[in-house]
């Protein structure tokens, strides 16, 4: 019989240590397997933990209306009393326009928006550098419902996916984000903490320190097609490690961030990545679709 107390303690410890507001069940199950507390299933990753979630034994458990399970970080309290609560009842996901950023911490705000758009079937995983630090300005984010002049990555991805269609309107951000979700694309960040305010050297150090966790997360999420790294520094630091972990990186060279004059190159490289023959070893063939 799994030790629910030890499992809950480890999950809450990892959430706090990694600075996360929540974690998906597959990633959480991988944590527990690594800690030797709950052996995960190779054929059905996350199933042993999902069994405990369905039984209502996990502290901070939550199931979204799309049936994805999550474990939320909770305030300190008596674990036994909390774990004895009945299973969480799935509740509808609120539309992005109802999100109130000012009422939530930055970390929780980013994660809530990201989870709003997690596809039921993940085909291509996009990896960005980190959530942006807005400084004294309003918060902005790839998944924020309001379109900002700083939405360079959103504009680049939207144009790469749908810009060739007549009448496509990149300004209809919520509708485009829903379409991105429906088509199986999802974006995560290499670093959970903003790095855009750091010096180049500090930024590189921070991202490099995040690579092991990024690799673990990509393995756990297991995108059907593979991963696209949406900045040169990410490709330089993460591509080799991801391929070593048997995660397909869908481009053999770095892709520039779609800022200013680099957007056209980003769009071209992104579209080329989607035609990639899905090789783990980029030297295995010289041909490209």
Q: What is the pTM of this model?
A: 0.64
Q: Give the model confidence (pLDDT) of 234-251 as tens digits.
A: 999 999 999 999 999 999
Question: So what's the pLDDT on residue 45?
Answer: 72
Pairing mode, strands 22-24 and 185-189 = unpaired
Q: How confident is the model at residue 106 (pLDDT cuts 50, 70, 90)?
A: low
Burial of 200 (0-12, 13-18, 19+ CB in 10 A): exposed
**Which segments of the chain does DSSP mark as H helices, in order?**
4-17, 25-34, 47-54, 79-83, 106-116, 152-162, 173-182, 200-221, 232-244, 263-274
Q: Give the model confidence (pLDDT) of 159-201 as tens digits.
A: 999 999 998 999 999 999 999 999 999 999 998 888 878 888 8
Cα distances (angstroms) measured from residue 67 to each of 41, 105, 130: 19, 25, 27
> By three-state DSSP, how is residue 251 classified?
coil
- The pair phi, psi for residue 226, each rounded to 5°, is 150, -160
In this structure, are residues 3 and 47 in contact, taking their beta carbons and an 8 Å threshold? Answer: no
What percent of the chain stands above pLDDT 90?
50
Question: So what's the pLDDT on residue 286?
Answer: 37
**Residue 227 to residue 221: CA distance in whole angstroms:** 10
Question: So what's the pLDDT on residue 197?
Answer: 80
Map out the domains of the chain with their CATH numbers.
4-83 (1.10.10), 96-274 (3.40.470)
> How confident is the prediction for the chain on average, in pLDDT?
83
Q: Give the model confidence (pLDDT) of 109-159 as tens digits.
A: 888 889 889 999 999 999 999 988 777 777 789 999 989 888 999 999 999
Question: So what's the pLDDT on residue 264?
Answer: 94
């Amino acid at each position: 019989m799994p030790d629910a107390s030890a499992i809950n303690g480890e999950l809450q410890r990892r959430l706090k240590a990694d600075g996360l507001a929540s974690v998906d069940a597959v990633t959480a199950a991988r944590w527990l397997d690594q800690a030797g507390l709950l052996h995960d299933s190779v054929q059905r990753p996350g199933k042993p933990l999902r069994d405990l979630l369905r039984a209502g034994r996990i502290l901070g458990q939550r199931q979204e209306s799309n049936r994805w399970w999550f474990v939320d970080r909770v305030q300190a309290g008596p674990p036994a009393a909390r774990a004895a609560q009945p299973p969480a009842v799935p509740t509808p996901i609120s539309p992005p326009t109802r999100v109130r950023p000012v009422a939530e911490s930055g970390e929780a705000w980013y994660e809530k928006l990201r989870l709003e758009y997690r596809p039921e079937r993940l085909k291509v995983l996009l990896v960005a550098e980190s959530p942006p630090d807005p400084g004294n300005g309003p918060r902005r984010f790839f998944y924020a419902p309001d379109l900002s002049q700083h939405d360079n990555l959103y504009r680049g991805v939207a144009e790469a996916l749908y810009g060739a269609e007549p009448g496509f309107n990149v300004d209809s951000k919520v509708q485009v984000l829903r379409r991105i979700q429906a088509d199986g694309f999802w974006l995560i960040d290499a670093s959970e903490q903003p790095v855009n305010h750091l010096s180049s050297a500090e930024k590189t150090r921070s991202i490099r320190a995040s690579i092991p966790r990024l690799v673990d997360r990509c393995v756990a999420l297991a995108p059907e097609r593979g991963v696209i790294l949406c900045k040169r520094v990410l490709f330089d630091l993460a591509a080799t490690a991801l391929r070593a972990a048997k995660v397909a990186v869908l481009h053999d060279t770095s892709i520039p961030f779609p800022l200013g004059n680099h957007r056209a190159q980003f769009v071209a490289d992104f579209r080329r990545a989607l035609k990639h023959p899905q090789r783990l070893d980029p030297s295995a063939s010289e041909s490209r679709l």
